[in-house]
Structure 1
């Protein structure tokens, strides 16, 4: 049986569900928001023998042959309950036991995902497998930043979180060009590290989805619109053209290699196709979105993921 760990609103998992149903493969979808409504038993305190009973039926970890960690949701507890924080923490501990109990059966282990989210580690891994990586500086030192800016066109992007809680809606930090750091900005700059990276003149952006040895690459024609030229996500344009892309063999093999170096079987790698035709590595999202790529291009990503899950050896 295949385990899918996600949340109730995750459309991407729906694609995998449809593919597994088409193949007649049994699966269990665990929407983690529902966990506090479940009953669990863990004989001998052994995570590998965990049994969970809930609204979706019974889950016995000993019967799981492979698992896909997609987008677990936050645990839903009763805010009016005076011990809600305690209850949430205890169920979170059960989830960690579940993650451990399935070690060796994950498409991407949750712990490997956590390690792979380290962007400086990604850049080092990419260089190590021969991918081109733009000149980069991670800093909160205004003087070091000014020296870096003086050497050429530069973009800035967050080291980890792209969302800032400002007001009720919040704010998204897109990749943006930065030309200078004024003295009045220096104090704010020192508050947190940031990634500064040499800007590569683009022909297009490329998202390469790696599933084991398969690579599904898509050109995103970001240079056709002013607002998407630096960061294709800006503006949320529904008319942003996507085209299937055949990467050079050495680049595709390097994408597989960097994924494996990070301890992953799946990753969503963002590349820049430069105006001279070279490909440059930006980052690897160890749990990146892919459903819209399949919708726009027909790339059989859900089929590749289902195959990867079905090919995993039983414990």
Structure 2
């Protein structure tokens, strides 16, 4: 008996606890679920598209699991966190560079050609992750964002610190994760700039750096958007020293606050931002000032959500499953806010 449920492709790495419960629920609801990592290509994963021999065909074939996926039959793809192509130890570096370029064009182009729902397409994620672009777009749409300096010129930073009578923070553009060989990844949290900046100004010249005005906080909001469903979570970041500047600094007990639905204008502007980016899923961060003003910080198109499901009982995974089961096309429309 053939399972007629929707075909869903999950592109993620081997160890990904966030995707596991979603995959389980999809299967329980009758979906045909295939989990594939791009590191399987080319030694384990075969990717083929052809117009020869009759009807056109496009397929992925996982040789280890003996699983074939008809790309034209896909309802949805969840582009979660796949790892890079793996060409093995026997190929020389020059050949690997050539093979990687060919794979990016071929595999990327084939997957991009699928006519199904993507949460989110990798090209959408790539553009959406550009923090300077996010900030400019948010300003254009009427959201308040912190005043920002982006530079690799140490003198620009020295001049800013000297001129400002309010605190300035440094914030990494790409999440701040540093992978040291043989160790767990380290992270750079948002940090208030102190006197040590004068001794380390030359480091600004090593790469692009982002400095922003420090915004006084009443509390913060992590907003997870799954399709047209909004999950705003209040974080009382000012109640703990470890979360006062950056709530990611707390790894034991997050200081959640009561559910507070977003104002209509913030919903409308967030919808416009995600529509402009083309993102179906996004995790947005806001500061709420003592006067009640929302200040947009960033949107992470691949932000984690399972921690809030575990802590607060929010049905985030179920709503993602609903979205993947339904498939495309997706359009932004009326918003439903879900509390806890």
Q: Is TM > 0.5 for Structure 1 vs Structure 2? A: yes
Equivalent residue for 1:271?
A: 286
Query: Do the aligned residues in 1 keep the contact of 2:158 with 2:201 (CA within 8 Å)?
Result: no
What are the equivalent positions in structure 2 for 1:237-252 lying under 5 Å apart? 237-243=251-257, 244-252=259-267
Equivalent residue for 1:154?
A: 168
Residue of structure 1 aligned with 2:24, choices 8, 18, 22: 18
- Deviation readout 1:7-54 (Å, 9 max, x if unpaired): 111111113213312322222221333332133432139xx8322222
- Deviation readout 1:111-140 (Å, 9 max, x if unpaired): 111011110110112112222111111112
Q: Does 1:27 align with 2:67?
A: no
Residue of structure 2 aligned with 1:229, choices 235, 238, 244: 244
Unaligned runs of 5+ in 2: 1-6, 330-340
- Deviation readout 1:46-78 (Å, 9 max, x if unpaired): xx8322222341111011122111110233453
Q: Does 1:301 align with 2:309?
A: no
Could you tell which deviates more after superposition, 34-43 or 56-65?
A: 34-43
Residue of structure 2 aligned with 1:78, choices 78, 88, 94: 88
Residue of structure 1 aligned with 2:58, choices 50, 53, 62: 50
Query: Do the aligned residues in 1 keep the contact of 2:116 with 2:327 (CA within 8 Å)?
Result: no
- What is the CA-CA distance between 1:300 and the residue it aligns to? 1.8
Structure-2 change in CA distance of 1:79 and 1:218 (3 Å): same
Query: Do the aligned residues in 1 keep the contact of 2:141 with 2:272 (CA within 8 Å)?
Result: yes
Query: Do the aligned residues in 2 keep the contact of 1:210 with 1:259 (CA within 8 Å)?
Result: no
> In structure 2, the residue corresponding to 1:238 is in which secondary structure?
coil
- What is the CA-CA distance between 1:94 and the residue it aligns to? 4.4
Structure-2 change in CA distance of 1:195 and 1:182 (3 Å): closer
Aligned-pair RMSD on alpha carbons? 2.5
- What is the CA-CA distance between 1:103 and the residue it aligns to? 5.7
Equivalent residue for 2:140?
A: 128
Query: Do the aligned residues in 1 keep the contact of 2:237 with 2:247 (CA within 8 Å)?
Result: yes
Using the size of structure 2 for normalisation, the TM-score is: 0.82
The list of structure 1 runs, each at least 4 consecutive aligned residues, that deviate by more than 6 angstroms after superposition, is none
How many corresponding residue pairs?
311
> In structure 1, the residue corresponding to 2:158 is in which secondary structure?
helix
Q: How far apart are the structure 2 equivalents of 1:49 and 1:107?
A: 23
Q: Does 1:39 align with 2:46?
A: yes
Unaligned runs of 5+ in 1: none
> In structure 2, the residue corresponding to 1:79 is in which secondary structure?
coil
